[in-house]
């Protein structure tokens, strides 16, 4: 039977491909972005207790009230504004589900969605499945800063959504206060919906401030803001995230969510409700925790032929490998994995049209020191 694909540009995700290659060749996996250290003990204990207490059945569709209230209180503590836990906070099965739901809530066939390249690979398939058109606007190839003139030029009467991501995957670049001012001016007087991917919101370095859309009334009134417990609490496999949006957008979002996953893992919701309230020092200290890893990893990389780029936020380190090889990034990362025993992620899958001659690869430093040391020992042989 022949089946006409709805996603002709989609194959197996690069993260799956490189992780499988790492397993096959015994490579140190710095490709896929998951920590290899422990989840906070309080969170593990709270999860076990929730299951033992019988909290194992369906959660409410929007999320258990205790967790939504905890998210609202945390938002106020971090960004100076408290969303309505009942009308504006929805718990989802990871940030990827939230992004999918947000796009399908508002994008109709023929609508245009502006995405800033390089961007995470789940964005465009969700747009395609909604019948929308992804309009790719490149970030600066050196700094990964937005070019607001290019973004303004991409806006048309068909523009329905603008997607942003700060701290940025894969580069770690962050929106500045000036970027927020430019964004506000661009959207003012339009009907464009903003979708802000903020999953690395607490992983920021060097005293920088995460410019969350939630800080700004004129932006949050038109925005879906998506975050992830997996990134904040070292438990990506739990697949729990949430979306904050104004009541009208949340109502449409929930229509999609209820027929997508309906609800998500109930015991983990109870565990996160407890963890957020009892241990705010965890997310408060996350930047310092990862900054120490970033700094140590960068110092080690300077002993190799790879050139590390600046990393303002997130837990990925881009490296320029042009001193090592003139292979394109996909071929280089495959060679690095199969021949040198370190798995990395190429940048080209994050682009519609990769910059000519770009020689960059992404390494994840959300790893134990032993893992990073093992990778560095192999990279020093390049």
Give the architecture (CATH level 2) of 41-279. Answer: 3-Layer(aba) Sandwich (3.40)
Mean pLDDT computed over 133-160? 98
Class of the CATH domain delimited by 14-39+284-379:
alpha beta
Closest CA to 118 of 356, 359, 347: 347
pTM exceeding the 0.75 threshold for the entire prediction: yes
Residue identified by tokens 């995460």 is 210
Helix 247-260 and helix 94-106, axial crossing angle in degrees, nearest 10: 120
Query: Which three-class secondary structure state does DSSP give residue 195?
Result: strand
Report the distance separating Cα 16 and Cα 32, nearest Å. Answer: 8
* 323-328 mean pLDDT: 97
Write down the pLDDT at residue 4: 87
State pLDDT tens for residues 110-134. 999 999 999 999 999 999 999 999 9
DSSP state string for 247-305 = HHHHHHHHHHHHHHTSS--HHHHHHHHHHHHH-THHHHTHHHHHHHHHHHHHHHHTTSS
Kindly indicate the confidence band of residue 9, based on its pLDDT and cuts at 50, 70 and 90: confident
From-to residues of CATH 3.40.640.10 in the chain: 41-279
Mean pLDDT value across residues 193-211: 98
- pLDDT of residue 221 exceeding 90, the answer is yes
Average pLDDT for 314-318: 98
pLDDT attached to residue 2: 84
Percentage with pLDDT > 70 across the chain: 100
Banded pLDDT at 317 (limits 50, 70, 90): very high
Question: So what's the pLDDT on residue 14?
Answer: 86
Tens of pLDDT, residues 35-93: 999 999 999 999 999 999 999 999 999 999 999 999 999 999 999 999 999 999 999 99
Cα of first residue to Cα of last residue in the chain, in angstroms, is 48
150-169 tens-digit pLDDT: 999 999 999 999 999 999 99
pLDDT confidence tier of residue 22, bands split at 50, 70 and 90:
confident
Q: What's the confidence (pLDDT) of residue 322?
A: 97
pLDDT of 11 reads 80
pLDDT attached to residue 17: 87
Across the range 243-255, mean pLDDT stands at 98
The answer, yes or no, to whether residue 200 has pLDDT greater than 90, is yes
DSSP, collapsed to helix, strand or coil, labels residue 316 as strand
pLDDT at 16: 85
Closest CA to 168 of 220, 119, 211: 119
The C-alpha atoms of residue 78 and residue 202 are separated, in whole angstroms, by 10
**Residue 268: its pLDDT value, please?**
98
Mean pLDDT of 318-340: 97
Instruction: Output the average pLDDT for the chain.
Output: 97
pLDDT number for residue 193: 98
pLDDT in tens, 184-193: 999 999 999 9
Instruction: Give the whole-angstrom CA distance, residue 325 versus residue 342.
Output: 15
In the chain, CATH 3.90.1150.10 covers 14-39+284-379
Question: What's the whole-number mean pLDDT along residues 287-299?
Answer: 98
């Amino acid at each position: 039977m022949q089946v006409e694909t709805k996603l002709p540009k989609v194959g197996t995700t690069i993260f799956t491909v490189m992780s499988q290659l790492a397993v096959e060749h015994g490579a140190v996996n710095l490709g896929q972005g998951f920590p290899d250290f422990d989840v906070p003990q309080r969170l593990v204990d709270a999860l076990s207790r929730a299951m033992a207490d019988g909290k194992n059945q369906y959660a409410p569709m929007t999320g258990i009230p205790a967790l939504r209230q905890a998210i609202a209180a945390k938002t106020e503590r971090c960004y100076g504004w408290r969303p309505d836990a009942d009308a504006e906070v929805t718990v989802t099965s990871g940030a990827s589900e939230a992004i999918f739901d947000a796009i399908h809530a508002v994008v109709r066939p023929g609508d245009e969605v502006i995405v800033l390249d390089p961007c995470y690979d789940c964005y465009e398939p969700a747009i395609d499945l909604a019948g929308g058109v992804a309009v790719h606007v490149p970030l600066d190839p050196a700094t990964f800063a937005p070019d607001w003139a290019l973004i303004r030029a991409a806006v048309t009467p068909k523009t329905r959504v603008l997607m942003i991501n700060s701290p940025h995957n894969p580069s770690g670049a962050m929106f500045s206060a000036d970027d927020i001012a430019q964004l506000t001016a661009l959207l003012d007087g339009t009907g464009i919906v903003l979708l802000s991917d903020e999953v690395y919101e607490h992983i920021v370095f060097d005293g920088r401030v995460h410019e969350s859309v939630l800080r700004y009334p004129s932006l949050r009134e038109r925005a879906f803001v998506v975050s992830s417990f997996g990134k904040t609490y070292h438990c990506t496999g739990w697949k729990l995230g949430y979306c904050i949006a104004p009541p009208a957008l949340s109502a449409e979002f929930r229509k999609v969510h209820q027929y997508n996953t309906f609800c998500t893992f109930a015991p983990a919701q109870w565990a996160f409700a407890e963890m957020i309230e009892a241990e705010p020092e965890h997310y408060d200290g996350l930047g310092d925790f990862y900054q120490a890893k970033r700094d140590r990893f960068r110092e080690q990389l300077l002993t190799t032929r790879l050139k590390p780029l600046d990393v303002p936020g997130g837990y990925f380190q881009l490296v320029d490998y042009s001193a090592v090889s003139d292979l394109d990034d996909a071929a280089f990362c495959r060679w690095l994995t199969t021949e040198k025993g370190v798995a990395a992620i190429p940048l080209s899958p994050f682009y519609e049209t990769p910059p000519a001659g770009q020689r960059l690869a992404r390494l994840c430093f959300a790893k134990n020191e032993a893992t990073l040391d093992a990778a560095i020992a192999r990279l020093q042989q390049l």
